[in-house]
Amino acid sequence: MAKQKTAYVCNECGADYTKWQGQCTACMQWNTLTEIRLSSAKQSGSRGRGLTATRAVLRPVDCRIIK
């Protein structure tokens, strides 16, 4: 099975990045990037390969409970 590709999209302005970072450099907002998993999609009758995005649901974690 191939490794899934990941992108990170800013919830405020929609800018996308290949790696996670704390601050969006486009709109300068902090902690607004959401992980998007890109998976290859087979197109019937086509030799081309496309990518589809599925938005991962991430929840904040209370830092006080992390050991």
Within 10 angstroms of residue 60's Cβ, the number of other Cβ atoms is 6
**% of the chain with per-residue pLDDT over 90:** 46
In this predicted structure, the answer to whether residue 14 has a pLDDT above a threshold of 80 is: yes
Which has the higher per-residue pLDDT, 62 or 38? 38
Contacts of residue 14, defined as CB under 8 A and 6 or more positions apart, other chains included, come to none
Closest-CA residue to 12 (of 49, 61, 29, 4): 29
Mean pLDDT (whole number) for 49-57? 57
Q: Which residues pair with 35 in a beta bridge?
A: 8
Q: Report pLDDT for 43.
A: 46
In this predicted structure, the answer to whether residue 58 has a pLDDT above a threshold of 70 is: no
Which has the higher per-residue pLDDT, 41 or 43? 41
The model carries a pTM of 0.55
Residue type, 8: Y
Give me the half-sphere count of Cα atoms (radius 13 Å) on the Cβ side of residue 37. Answer: 9
